[in-house]
Structure 1
Amino acid sequence: MRQQTALRLTLGLTRSIGFLELSNVELTQTLHEIASDNPWLMVQAARPAEFNSADAEDDGPSLISHILSQLPHLVPAPRDHAIAIALAEALDANGILTATTDAVARRTGVTRDRVNAVLDALRRIEPRGVFAHSLADCLGLQLAAVGALDAEMQSVLDRLDLLTQGGLEALAAETRLPLSRVASLVARLRELDPRPAARFSSQTSASRVADLTFTETTDGWQVALNPETTPRLSLATLGGSVPRGSRLSQERREANMLIAAIERRNKSMLDVGRVLAREQSGFLSDGVGSLRPLTKRAVALEIGLHESTVGRLVNAGSAATPHGTIPLTRFFSRAARRDPITDEPRFAAPAVGEMIARIVESESAEKPFSDTQIAERLSRHGITVSRRVVSNIRNRAGIDNRATRKRRR
C-alpha cells in the first residue's frame, strides 16, 4: 500500500480557467446562459451614462455589436478575436474597410497572412458587402453570395470608375462588351446596396469592446476594468429558508463559487494591467516606437500567477488606449537583441519594425533599401542588429522585400 497526493481539476476550477479565456463581452454572454439555469445568480452588464437606451431602441443595434454577436460563428478561435475587432474598428459608416491589412497587421502584431485569413472569414457576415475594400468589392461580395459574379460582371466592376468619367460608352469600350450588355450589367448593380452598414446605429463606440482602459493622470498611467463591458454578478434574495442539502442550497453554493471565480478573474486582469501601465508607459504615450521588451513569464513572476494564466488573460483581453482599442498581446514582445555586456533585453521587435517601416517610407522608389542598408540606418539610431534580424522583423511586420517593393512601385 502507498499513500500519495494528487491534484484534481474540480468543476469549479475548470470553469474558472475557462473564464480566463473569455473577453468581457464573451464573459457576459456566458454568464447570462449560466444565470438562466441558476435562480440565485443576477447578471448586470454596466451601461455607460451617456448612452440613452431609448436612442438605442430607435436606432437599432450598432454595427460593432452586430459583428460581436456573429464573431463566435465567423471566427471561432478566441485568439483571432482581437484581430477581428481591429478590422471592425477600421470600418467606415458604410461598412467599407479604411485600413490596409498591412496596417492592421502592424497594429495587432501579427502576420499579414493571419489578418487576411480573419478578414476572409469576416467577409461572410450578413449583410454581405461589409468589410469590403471598395465600392466595387462591396458589390462583388453581394453578387458572389448569390452566384451572380461571372467574368463579364467582374470586368465591369474592375473599371467601375469609368462609369462616372465617361459613362456607359467608356465602360463598354474598356471591357470590350456590347453597349446593351454593359447597360444591363450596370442596371443589375444598381439593384444592390452600396451601403450595407448604413442600417446599423452608430451610437455605440468601438472602444466599448475593450476589457481594460488606460488613462493618463498626473501620477502616470492608470488602468481600470472597462465599466462599459465588465459584467457584475450578485446573489439574488429568495424568500424563505433553504433546506440543507436541497437543490436550492446546491445552486446557491455554485453561485457563490461562480462570483468568487469572476472576482479572481477581474483581480488578475487588473494586476496584469497595472504591470503593463508601468512597464509600457512609453508605448502608451508615444506608440510602438517606444515599446519595451516584455514577456508573459516576467509579468507572471511579478504578480504571482502561472505563465499560462497570464497567457489566457492576455490572449483574450483588449484595452482602450490613446492608439485605439488594441489586444493585450500588443504590449508583449521579445527583444530583437540583448546587450552583449549585461545580457539585458534591448530593442523590442515591434519597435524595430516601426523604425524599419519609417526607413522604407523614406526610401527612393527607384532604389529601395536592401536589408543590409536598413541595418546600417538602424545603427545610426543606436539599434545595432544584423541583416538577418532585419529580414525576420521586416517579414513579421508585413513589409515586402526589396525586389517586391521595387516591382510594386
Structure 2
Amino acid sequence: MKLGPTLVLRQRTQLKLGQELQRAIGFMAMDNLELARCLEEAAAENPWLSLRLPPVLDRGAPDAVAAAEGVSLIAHVLAHMPGLVPATADRRIALALAEELDDSGFLCRPLPEIAQRCGVPSARVEAVLAQLQRIEPRGLFARSLSECLSLQLPDVEAREDRMRRLLDALPALARGGPAALARDSGLPEGEVAALLARLRRLDPRPAGAFVCAPARVRVADLLFRPARNGWCAELNPETTPSARLADPGSAAVPRGSALSRARGEARSLIAALERRNASLLALGRVLAREQAGFLSEGAIAQRPLTRRAVARELGLHESTVGRMVDVGAAATPSGTLPLRRFFCHEVRRGGDGGASAPALMARIAEIVADEPPGAPLTDGQIAARLTAEGLAVSRRVTASLRTRAGLGNRAARRRKAPGSRS
C-alpha cells in the first residue's frame, strides 16, 4: 500500500444559466406593467436603451396614496394576520381572501372560486375564513350583511333562536319592510321591532374607518381574437413595452470603457426582453388552440390542460411556464382573465373522454337550475344524468364538484325553493 499525495483528473459537466437567460426568466415572472417599470429604471441608468412604454403606464400616478392619513384595510389585515392565522401554509389562502375585500370589508367573491384559485378544498378556505373573522373591528370578512351583523353580536346573542331567525330572513327587510321580515322570520312584529333596534346599533360597514387605496387594475398581457380557423393570440400592443439600442451621441466608444459595458448590458437586456415576449406569445398560441372551446362557450367547454403538458410542447421548464401563468392575464370575450384560468386537471383519469372540473361544475349548475321546483335532485341522480351524457363520475365526486360550484345540497335547495318553509 502506497501512501502519499497524488493528482487525480476528473471531468464534470455542469449546466449554468447565462446572464441573458437569467434575466429572461426574471422577466417572465413580471406582468407587462411591472416589466415596463423595471425597464424604465434600467433606461434611466443606461444611455443605450430606448424604450416604448405602454400608454396604460401612468408614470405620474403613484401605486398608493402616500399622502393619505390613516391605515389602509389591507395593511391592517396584514399586520394582524400572523396572530389570526398561525399556520404558515394557510397564509397564502388568507392573503387571497384579503385581496377580495371590498371597501366595506365584505368578501366580494364566492369561497368556491377562491378555493379553486388557490387549489385547495373549500373546507380549508372556510376554516381560514373563520380565523380571519376574529379580527377587529368585528364584521370584516363577512359574506353578507346578516353575517356581518352576526359577527358583531356576542356569541350567546348570535346563537339565540329569535336573532338567528331574524338574521336569516334579513333580506326580506329591503323587499317589503318590517312586515315582510316578520312574515319570513315567523316572529311577531313587536319582537322584530325590538331586534331591529338592537341591530341598528351595529356597524354595517366595518371597514369604513380605513383608508381606501386605489385598487390596482389587472391589464391584459395577451389578446385572444376569433380567427377563420379558431382563435389567435397576440401580444397586447397597449401594454407590452419594447426596447431598442439607441445612440448616446458618442462618435467612438473605447473598448472596455463604461460606455462600452453599458452597450453590452443594453444588448443583453433587449435580447432577454425579446426572449420573454416570444415565450409569452408561444404560450398564448398554445392556449388559443387547446382552449378554443373555453374561449367560445365558457367553462362548460373547458378541456383539461396542465402546465407540464404546455411546458413539454414549448420546450420550456414547467417552472418557467408557471412564472408566466401566475402573473399573466389575457383579454377574452368574457373579460380579462388570469392565465391560470386556462389550466385545469382532468376529473376522471385513465379513460377516454375525461372532462375538466370547470366543465363538470358548469354542467352540474345547469342541471340544478333546470330541476323541478320543490323537488331537487340528489347527488346520485345528478351523477346518473352525467353518466348518461358520457361523463361517468361517481356520486361522491359529483357531491364534491357541486360544493365547489357553490351549490347547496338537496335539503338546502329544497328550503330555498319558492313556497317552502324552513
TM tier, smaller: 0.5 to 0.7
Deviation, 1:175, is: 4.5
Aligned counterparts of 1:28 and 1:118: Cα–Cα separation in 2: 35
Aligned counterparts of 1:15 and 1:53: Cα–Cα separation in 2: 24
| Change in CA separation of 1:189 and 1:324 when aligned onto 2, cut-off 3 Å | closer
Deviation, 1:321, is: 0.8
Deviation, 1:114, is: 8.0
Q: Deviations over 1:360-397 (max 9, x none)?
A: 33446755433322210112322112223324433444
Deviation, 1:194, is: 11
Partner in structure 1 of residue 48 of structure 2: 40
Name the SS of the counterpart of 2:347 in structure 1. Answer: strand
Q: Deviations over 1:145-177 (max 9, x none)?
A: xxxx786xx999x989869957xx999722455
Percent sequence identity is 45
Partner in structure 2 of residue 316 of structure 1: 327
Partner in structure 2 of residue 174 of structure 1: 195
Partner in structure 1 of residue 29 of structure 2: 21
Out of 259-268 and 212-221, give the one that drifted further: 212-221
Aligned counterparts of 2:24 and 2:128: Cα–Cα separation in 1: 28
Name the SS of the counterpart of 1:233 in structure 2. Answer: strand
Mapping for residues 27-66 of structure 1, pairs under 5 Å? 27-47=35-55
Deviation, 1:327, is: 1.6
1:237 to 209, 233, 247: 247
| Change in CA separation of 1:107 and 1:378 when aligned onto 2, cut-off 3 Å | farther
Please tell me whether the aligned partners of residues 112 and 403 of structure 2 are also in contact (alpha carbons under 8 angstroms).
no
Name the SS of the counterpart of 2:225 in structure 1. Answer: strand
RMSD, aligned CA: 5.3
Partner in structure 2 of residue 226 of structure 1: 236
2:283 to 258, 272, 297: 272
Aligned counterparts of 2:228 and 2:105: Cα–Cα separation in 1: 39
Name the SS of the counterpart of 1:385 in structure 2. Answer: coil
Aligned counterparts of 1:362 and 1:262: Cα–Cα separation in 2: 51
1:394 to 402, 408, 416: 402
Deviation, 1:132, is: 8.0
Larger Rg: 2
Aligned counterparts of 2:129 and 2:220: Cα–Cα separation in 1: 20
Aligned counterparts of 2:298 and 2:239: Cα–Cα separation in 1: 25
Deviation, 1:325, is: 1.4
Aligned counterparts of 1:381 and 1:280: Cα–Cα separation in 2: 21
Please tell me whether the aligned partners of residues 130 and 196 of structure 1 are also in contact (alpha carbons under 8 angstroms).
no
Give TM-score scaled by structure 1 length: 0.66
| Change in CA separation of 1:382 and 1:236 when aligned onto 2, cut-off 3 Å | same
Give TM-score scaled by structure 2 length: 0.65
| Change in CA separation of 1:324 and 1:131 when aligned onto 2, cut-off 3 Å | farther
Mapping for residues 293-332 of structure 1, pairs under 5 Å? 293-332=304-343
Deviation, 1:18, is: 2.1
Please tell me whether the aligned partners of residues 224 and 233 of structure 2 are also in contact (alpha carbons under 8 angstroms).
yes
Name the SS of the counterpart of 1:336 in structure 2. Answer: coil
Please tell me whether the aligned partners of residues 94 and 196 of structure 1 are also in contact (alpha carbons under 8 angstroms).
no
Please tell me whether the aligned partners of residues 28 and 324 of structure 2 are also in contact (alpha carbons under 8 angstroms).
yes
Please tell me whether the aligned partners of residues 107 and 326 of structure 1 are also in contact (alpha carbons under 8 angstroms).
no
Q: Which has the higher contact order (CA 8 A, sep 6+)?
A: 1
Mapping for residues 8-407 of structure 1, pairs under 5 Å? 8-47=16-55, 100-102=110-112, 112=122, 165=177, 173-175=194-196, 209-240=219-250, 241-338=252-349, 340=351, 344=352, 346-363=354-371, 368-402=376-410
Q: Deviations over 1:6-43 (max 9, x none)?
A: 11234443332222222222222333333344343344
Partner in structure 1 of residue 186 of structure 2: none
Letter in 1 for 2:282: D
Please tell me whether the aligned partners of residues 215 and 223 of structure 1 are also in contact (alpha carbons under 8 angstroms).
yes
Please tell me whether the aligned partners of residues 86 and 104 of structure 1 are also in contact (alpha carbons under 8 angstroms).
no
Deviation, 1:313, is: 1.6
Q: Which runs of 5+ in 1 are unaligned?
A: 61-66, 124-128
- How many pairs does the alignment contain? 367
Aligned counterparts of 1:194 and 1:406: Cα–Cα separation in 2: 40
1:6 to 5, 14, 17: 14
| Change in CA separation of 1:23 and 1:385 when aligned onto 2, cut-off 3 Å | same
Letter in 1 for 2:266: A
Deviation, 1:314, is: 1.7
